[in-house]
Structures are given as C-alpha cells and as structure tokens.
Amino acid sequence: MSETFPPGFLWGTATAAYQIEGAPQENGRTPSIWDVFSHTPGKTANGDTGDLAVDHFHRRAEDVRLMADLGLNAYRFSVSWPRVQPTGRGPAVQRGLDFYRALVDDLLAHGIEPVLTLYHWDLPQELESAGGWPERETAYRFAEYARVVGEALGDRVERWTTLNEPWCSAFLGYGSGVHAPGRTDPVAALRAAHHLNLGHGLATQALRAVLPARAQISVSLNPACVRARTQAPEDLNARRRIDALANRVFSGPMLAGAYPEDLFADTARLTDWSFVHAGDAAVARQPLDSLGINYYQPAVVSAAGEGDTERHDGHGGGDHSPWPGADDIAFHRPPGELTDMGWSVDPTGLYDLLLRYTREAPGLPLYITENGAAYEDKPAADGSVHDPDRIRYLHGHLSAVRRAIGDGADVRGYFLWSLMDNFEWAYGYDQRFGAVHVDFETQRRTPKSSARWYAKVAATGELPEPPVG
C-alpha cells in the first residue's frame, strides 16, 4: 500500500498559549486559571509555572523562522483569552490582539497557514471567580470572546477552532482537579461539560456572523479509543460507560444534537441534568467544516475487581477520579512500550478513531490536531539532539493515518504535538514533547532529529522506510 499522503495535506505542529508564551502581565493581560493554579503550592511538578514558559511572546519571529526552516505548511496555536479580553467580557485589548496579528502575518509571510484555537484551557480567572464553566454564563462569555477575536483576525485567519479537548477542561479541571482550576466536584464537571458544549455552539454561531464565508470552523476533541479488557458483559458495559463520559458527552450534542440517554441514566445518582435547557443540544450542533482529533493512547477498561486500585487512565494521580459516577470501573495499563508520560505507544487507537468518526460524522473532513510523545531528550556533546524514539513514534502513527486514509477516512492534515518543548501543565517542565529542543535556562532552540525527519515527510508527502532499532 502506498505511503504517500494526499496532495494539499497540511503538515503542521501545535502549541498552546499558556504552554509557550510567558509574559503573563504584559499589555494588560490578567491571570488565567492556569496562572492561579500553577502558583498554588503543590499543584505542578517542582512548582513550575508558565510565567516564562519558552518566552514565545518575545521570540515569536524566531519561532516562526524555525517552522519555515522546517518547511511546515501549517501551525496550530491558541489565543490567550486573558491577553485579549482581560476581564473575560467587553471590548478587546488592542495590544493583546496585536501580538496575534503579528504572529499571523509572520506565518502568512512564510507560507504557513495559521490554525487558530480560541480556548486551550486558559479561562480568565475573573470568570472562574464568577463560577467558571459550571455556570451557564461562561458559555455566553465565550461566545462574546469568539466574536471579538473573529472580528479582529477574521480578515487573515481562515481556520478556526473553538475548543481544545473540552474533556480535559471539564473533567480534569473540575472533576479530578489535576488541572486548573483544581476543583474536585463530579457534578461541577458534568455541568462544565455541558456549558463547554453550549459555548462551542454559541461561539460557532458568533464566528459565522462575523467571519467571511470562506472561514472554516472546527473543534478539537480528544476522543478516547476505549477498549474492554475482556469480552465479559460487565467489561463491555464498563467500555460503554466510559465511552459515554469520554466521547459521546461531547460528540452527542456537537455532532448529533442530543446527549446520549445512557449517559443521563449512568449519572442519574449524581444529577438530573436540569442544567441542560431545552434547545441547548441543538445549539451545540452547528455545521462544522472539519473535526479535529487529538490522540495519544487507547484506554483499557473493565469492571473493577479486587486489587484494581491503581488508576491507569493516563490523566495523573490525585485522590479524585475524573470519571463521574464510575468508581466501579478500572483502567488498566495498555500493553506495550510506554513514553515518558507512561502512555502506551499504540497507533491502532488512532486508526480506530479515524474510522469511527468517518462512520459517525460522514462527510466531515478530519484533522489530527495533536499527536506526539514525551521523551527525555538530552543534547549530545556537540549540541545536537537525537530522539529516535520520537521518530519511531511518528512513523508508526503516520503510517496508521495513511492506512486509515486508504480505508476511507478523509484525513486532511496532521499536527505534531508539539513544535517545541514547553510547559506540560501539571508536569511542569519535566516532560518534553517538542520536535525542537528548548534549553529552559537559556531558551536556546535546537531542532531534534525528529524535526528534520518530520520536515522531510512534509516536503515529500511520503513516509520513508520505518526506522530500524
């Protein structure tokens, strides 16, 4: 089978504002929930914060040049909400928008297509103090923010994404509390999920109203490829339940205009879902131009038995589960090789998801908006950084993408997570996902061998032979 990708395929990398920008107080930016959370003792590894991150706010031009040198034709980044709308409401701060205007202009000048995400987890703290995503009002604030950014950048950005991984915002932010704002309330997590769905729908409407007709609007989900440990009915039921909490809670409203009934039944002990108003799910279902899929590893679940005490869902430790009402379900470490995050390397999960959404959302083009791996990459004596594990990881996953395309999936692009090493949320600077190495002391950038390898794939549109070893 050919390992050639379709013409026009987007080859990009992805980042997020809080993970790379730094400059937390510049030009009137106010704290986001991640500033507050990372400054709270005990919340991140080593007490790391995004105060400096990788100083992208001041090194924007150098970072765009890096991408251009690699010959990549797309770049997915996020806008920091508190940088452009510091209180989470009202008119935008022009100086905040100027940064993104300059970034986009730089990208376009280098032939790199900007792919803008509105929300990659950095809610203005002021909105969290008013209740955050568990409150309906936040969805309306998000729509207003979308309109403001749309008006400002719609003349030069064609590709828009509303939310990145709303599952993490809702369930890690309000359920397990391992992400900002660090709340541990299962009902708040479900309410947040709903208001993210509603916010996505309202923001899409707001964008359509201000963007030119050529604009393309999408959302990036991190669907779980959930596998049952055995075919026993109780394990299959565990799979169904986690599929509802991980996937259908978002894809139901966003793609089909309705919540899955089994999700309501499974969580009835916790809530009657009366925060879902008539018509909300229909608002969440807006015509989209594509669907973004972020994939890292599959999940293996079963009904919990004795001894299933360790959590292997890949979402950090902590005393609280991110899975409301599912304490009787166990997650098992998937078999096979692991990355430094302890996540398994299994491209078949990506293949399965691409075919699933091809079936469930026929006609909707797919983009892999994140995929990548963390390894402890250290510079050699001559300063070069070799990361053969990442090359193998990328080869395996790109090969799975190619196979999915061959089997009918309409995949139009791939965004490697991440352009460069950065602030990996609760893991701080301990985990390196970048294709470009960053020395966190000096901020020196060094493309790793995986960056060169990926550049070659992007230039030729072909996968070379699998790396040996």
Say whether residue 377 binds ligand IFM (CB under 6 A): no
Binding-site string for ligand IFM from residue 336 to residue 375, where x marks contact by CB under 6 A and - marks none: ----------------------------------x-----
Using CB under 6 A, pick the residue from 424, 436, 451, 453 that binds ligand IFM: 424
Q: Of 271 and 294, which CB lies nearer to ligand IFM in the complex structure? A: 294
**Nearest one of 166, 177, 175, 100 to 139, comparing CA atoms:** 166
CA separation for the pair 352, 397 (Å, rounded)? 12
Q: Of 126 and 424, which CB lies nearer to ligand IFM in the complex structure? A: 424
Say whether residue 122 binds ligand IFM (CB under 6 A): no
Using CB under 6 A, pick the residue from 85, 294, 344, 446 that binds ligand IFM: 294
**Nearest one of 20, 3, 5 to 436, comparing CA atoms:** 20
Size of the site for ligand IFM (CB under 6 A): 8
**DSSP β-ladder status, 445-447 and 436-438:** antiparallel
370 is catalytic: yes
Interaction residues for ligand IFM, span 154-183 (CB under 6 A):
165
Chain residue whose CB lies nearest ligand IFM: 16
Q: Of 271 and 371, which CB lies nearer to ligand IFM in the complex structure? A: 371
Say whether residue 55 binds ligand IFM (CB under 6 A): no
Say whether residue 293 binds ligand IFM (CB under 6 A): no
165 is catalytic: yes
Q: Of 20 and 143, which CB lies nearer to ligand IFM in the complex structure? A: 20
Three-state secondary structure of 367-434? EEEEECCCCCCCCCCCCCCCCHHHHHHHHHHHHHHHHHHHCCCCEEEEEEECCECCCCHHHCCCCCCC
113, 128, 165, 424: which is the annotated catalytic residue? 165
Query: How many Cβ atoms from other residues are within 10 Å of residue 152's Cβ?
Result: 20
CB of 241 to ligand IFM, least distance (A): 23
Say whether residue 417 binds ligand IFM (CB under 6 A): yes
CA separation for the pair 436, 90 (Å, rounded)? 37
Say whether residue 16 binds ligand IFM (CB under 6 A): yes
**DSSP β-ladder status, 10-14 and 74-78:** parallel
Interaction residues for ligand IFM, span 429-468 (CB under 6 A):
433
Quote the radius of gyration of the chain (alpha carbons, Å).
21
Say whether residue 21 binds ligand IFM (CB under 6 A): no
Neighbouring C-alpha atoms within 13 Å toward the C-beta of 322: 27
151, 370, 376, 462: which is the annotated catalytic residue? 370
CA separation for the pair 145, 92 (Å, rounded)? 8
Reading the block at residue 195, the tokens are: 């208001």
DSSP string across 319-377: SS-SSTT-TTEEEEPPSS-B-TTS-B--HHHHHHHHHHHHHHSTT--EEEEEE------
Say whether residue 190 binds ligand IFM (CB under 6 A): no
Say whether residue 5 binds ligand IFM (CB under 6 A): no
Using the 8-state DSSP alphabet, how is residue 212 labeled?
Answer: -
Q: Of 21 and 370, which CB lies nearer to ligand IFM in the complex structure? A: 370
Give the active site residues: 165, 370
Which positions lie near ligand IFM, rule CB under 6 A?
Answer: 16, 19, 165, 294, 370, 417, 424, 433
